Amino acid sequence: MTRHLPLRLPVPGHAQFRLRIRPVAGVSTLLKQVEIPGGFDRTLYASERVLATAPDGVQVPISLVYRKDKRVAPISRSAVLRTSRSASSPLYVYAYGSYGYSLPIGFSGNRLSLLDRGVVMAYAHIRGGGDLGKPWHDAGKMLVKRNTFTDFIAAVEHLTAAGYGDPARVAIEGGSAGGLLMGAVVNLRPDLFRAVLSHVPFVDVMNTMLDASLPLTVPEYEEWGDPNQETYFHYMLSYSPYDQLKPASYPSMLVKTSLHDSQVMYWEPAKYVAKLRTLKTDSNPLLLVTNMQAGHGGSSGRYDYLREIAFDYAFLLREFGMA
């Protein structure tokens, strides 16, 4: 009989720790916890799991983390309308939603910079990912890919309506296929977001997926569909971020790419930004940053990686009016 069970727990608001549990005795012993310099107090933070309702009635999970003393507790929709309490906190929402990838939820010391300033951070487990198994992935790919985008929009709308953040200060982030998500939702609902942070975004869907000479194109048919078939062509064109850009007022955007990216070629985000600059009717910042040394994952050095995060956070804080 096993008398001791080792357990490692990733919790968004708590530094990673290891427990030893004796099930029979009902006793747990803390063996080790990651040390966070600077006076970190885990009791100041809270995490939640809430559900948003997609347009087709499906319940979409959202993981939340925030600093308890920096925000107002969630309140009802009617209370939000009667008071100004919904304007208490900036809201950051991240998602990916492709390839059956389950969004990992765990502690990150980097987030403390935003959490300690009162930002509520949310991670939407939208369809196209694998968070609820293979059917969850299947419900967000190929000819039902638009579920991914409407799930994300529903998540943001739910969070602001429930009082988790200020509707006027919503920032969103995604990378690679998550960058496609950013481009698609901004085309669908540009009014919903204050700022967009898009890393190595897959935004030129049609030109990429019609070029079979690229190494990843043909295998990707199983995720997006084959645009050489008319049905898939028209469906993919309907959400391709580059192709669906139009004259409109867009949020502030920081688009990042890497010269040596072999998965999303640097010219995709470059031409996307160039086209958007000719169409957007607002004066909000539209920034393109190209890392001349990195690949798809960005800078690999420890300090270079942290500098990239600091740059991203500086952009977000400026847009939140907190810089």
Query: Annotated catalytic, 108?
Result: no
Residue with tokens 């309140």: 75
- The SS3 of residue 210 is coil
- The SS3 of residue 286 is strand
Residue with tokens 């959490």: 115
The Cα–Cα gap between 97 and 184 comes to: 12
**Nearest-10 Cα torsion for 9, 199, 96, 67:** 50
DSSP type of residue 230 = H
Return the number of other C-beta atoms located less than 10 Å from residue 59's C-beta: 11
DSSP 40-94: --GGGEEEEEEEEE-TTS-EEEEEEEEEGGGSPPP--HHHHHHSSGGGSS-EEEE
The Cα–Cα gap between 155 and 20 comes to: 36
Q: Which of 88, 176, 198, 252 is catalytic?
A: 176
The Cα–Cα gap between 262 and 264 comes to: 6
DSSP 135-186: HHHHTTSGGGTHHHHHHHHHHHHHHHHTTSS-TTSEEEEEETHHHHHHHHHH
Distances (CA, A) of 143 to 165, 222, 231: 33, 11, 9
Q: Which of 102, 113, 296, 299 is catalytic?
A: 296
Q: Which of 166, 226, 261, 312 is catalytic?
A: 261
Residue 290 burial by Cβ neighbours in a 10 Å radius (0-12, 13-18, 19+)? middle
- The SS3 of residue 239 is helix
Query: Annotated catalytic, 176?
Result: yes
Catalytic sites, residue numbers: 176, 261, 296
